[in-house]
Amino acid sequence: MHLIKLSAAAALATTLALSMAMSGEAHAQAAAGPVKVGFMLPYTGTYASLGNMIEAGFKLYVQEQGGKLGGREIQYFKVDDESEPSKATDNVNKLIKRDQVDVLVGTVHSGVALGMAKAAKESNTLMIVPNAGADAITGPLCSPNIVRSSFSNWQPGYSTGVVVAQKGHKRAMTITWNYAAGSETVKGFTEAFEKAGGKVVKDLNLPFPNVEFQALLTEIAAQKPDAVFAFFAGGGAVKFVKDYAAAGLNKTIPLYGSGFLTDGTLEAQGAAAQGLQTTLHYADNLDTPRNNAFRKSFALAYKANADVYAVQGYDAAQILAAGLTAVKGDLTKREALTTAMHKTTVDSPRGKFTLSAAGNPVQDMYLREAKGPNNEFKSIAVKALADPARGCKL
């Protein structure tokens, strides 16, 4: 009896030891396995090309590192968010809960990104925003596990306001889609423009992603402001710039915009966009070894010209690489990982930049002019512009 008891205990001990060894092994395997990256991006609709360029840029950087970051293979998952805020929570949970990704990379649309950021915060999932400028992400929603490789909506708006005032314009009208990116960009523009003595006489808007601009263009023609400031992007930007020219307004009222108005769109806009001046944190022809090498590598890999979205995707991968390298691929070292991501200096094709405490790029904003297929650098509109990060408490 005693003997049997002993051997049962021994058997139990052996089973326990075995299962512990196995779970240890499984753990080691998981640690050595791929880092799961979940792209949540628009692959359909007016922002589809933006989503594709971000993914292409991200993958290019990973490829250039031999497919590994911090010694770990990268495995990709993707969800088309359709730039649809009402589906954001369901869509992001496909990546967080179903696919159990380690890092979320997304998205383009500010409204969708706000939903993602809330889910990332609640589930403590790492998130890198490769475009969406929603001010709140590096404002009230700021978090150690969220960083942005792009901009806040305030930044390009503000820097265009500086430029339009410098050109001597006094009365401006604004036009945009009625959602966070549009209203926040216009707010940044108005802040800088009015601080410099200008006056925004009227704000026009229409629902995203509508492109029925005619009535609004008629109103611009009637009001005759000195200048118009617009935020549109992707397919909508193509249509707006063409309609503005078709209405003859390009001959009478200068049009300015944050650079999304002409980025990744010049071919489709044709003559209508030529000469347009915009501000953004990137210009195609920045003549630096870093930008030249990036553009060459991108063109070789994809037979297409890089744009700002490709740069932001590429830099999202660089930020992740900084974190993973610091912890040698060990995702359990979360604090060291997020600290390294926040503290990195990104050697970007746009020029080197750092991240603010809130996790948003502190970056030079360029005045550019559309010439042929490029948004060409003209000057630095605002040097090392930092988002005010209103409402961020870390």
Torsion angle in degrees (nearest 10) through CA of 111, 117, 123, 126: 140
Using CA of residue 291, residue 292, residue 294, residue 298, what is the dihedral sign?
A: positive
Site for ligand PHB contains 187 (CB under 6 A): no
Identity of the residue, 133 or 225, whose beta carbon is nearer to ligand PHB in the bound complex = 133
Site for ligand PHB in 139-168 (CB under 6 A): 153
Q: CB 83 → ligand PHB: shortest distance, Å?
A: 8
Q: CB 116 → ligand PHB: shortest distance, Å?
A: 12
Q: CB 132 → ligand PHB: shortest distance, Å?
A: 4
Site for ligand PHB contains 355 (CB under 6 A): no
Q: How many CB atoms lie within 10 A of CB 298?
A: 22
Q: Which of 309, 311, 220, 233 is nearest to 269 (CA)?
A: 233
Identity of the residue, 69 or 233, whose beta carbon is nearer to ligand PHB in the bound complex = 233
Site for ligand PHB contains 132 (CB under 6 A): yes
Identity of the residue, 120 or 181, whose beta carbon is nearer to ligand PHB in the bound complex = 181
Site for ligand PHB contains 108 (CB under 6 A): yes
Q: Which of 204, 80, 79, 185 is nearest to 134 (CA)?
A: 185
Q: CB 248 → ligand PHB: shortest distance, Å?
A: 26
Q: CB 142 → ligand PHB: shortest distance, Å?
A: 16
Between CA 349 and CA 392, with CA 353 as vertex, the angle to 5 degrees is: 135
User: Using an 8 Å Cβ cutoff, are 116 and 53 in contact?
Assistant: no
Segment lying near ligand PHB (by CB under 6 A), choices 6-14, 92-100, 131-139, 283-291: 131-139
Q: CB 144 → ligand PHB: shortest distance, Å?
A: 22
Site for ligand PHB in 296-325 (CB under 6 A): none
328: buried, middle or exposed (CB in 10 Å: 19+, 13-18, 0-12)?
Answer: exposed
Under DSSP, is residue 92 helix (H, G, I), strand (E, B) or coil? helix
Which residue type sits at 227? A
Which residue type sits at 243? D
Identity of the residue, 64 or 80, whose beta carbon is nearer to ligand PHB in the bound complex = 80
Segment lying near ligand PHB (by CB under 6 A), choices 21-29, 74-82, 104-112, 337-345: 104-112
Segment lying near ligand PHB (by CB under 6 A), choices 10-18, 128-136, 365-373, 385-393: 128-136
Q: CB 225 → ligand PHB: shortest distance, Å?
A: 23
Site for ligand PHB contains 181 (CB under 6 A): yes
Helix 110-123, helix 180-195: angle, nearest 10: 110
Identity of the residue, 131 or 318, whose beta carbon is nearer to ligand PHB in the bound complex = 131
Measure CA of the first residue to CA of the last residue in the chain; give whole Å. 63
Q: Tell me the residue ranges of DSSP E strands in the chain.
A: 35-41, 68-69, 72-80, 103-106, 126-129, 146-148, 171-177, 199-206, 227-231, 255-258, 277-280, 346-348, 351-355, 361-371, 374-385
Contact code string over 229-268 relative to ligand PHB, x by CB under 6 A? ----x--------------------------x--------
Q: How far apart, in whole angstroms, are the C-alpha atoms of residue 133 and residue 159?
A: 14
Segment lying near ligand PHB (by CB under 6 A), choices 115-123, 126-134, 246-254, 299-307: 126-134
Site for ligand PHB contains 110 (CB under 6 A): yes
* 286: region left, alpha or beta (phi > 0 left; psi from -120 to 50 alpha): beta
Q: CB 118 → ligand PHB: shortest distance, Å?
A: 16
Q: CB 240 → ligand PHB: shortest distance, Å?
A: 13
Please report, as ranges, the residues that interact with ligand PHB according to CB under 6 A.
108-110, 131-134, 153, 181, 233, 260
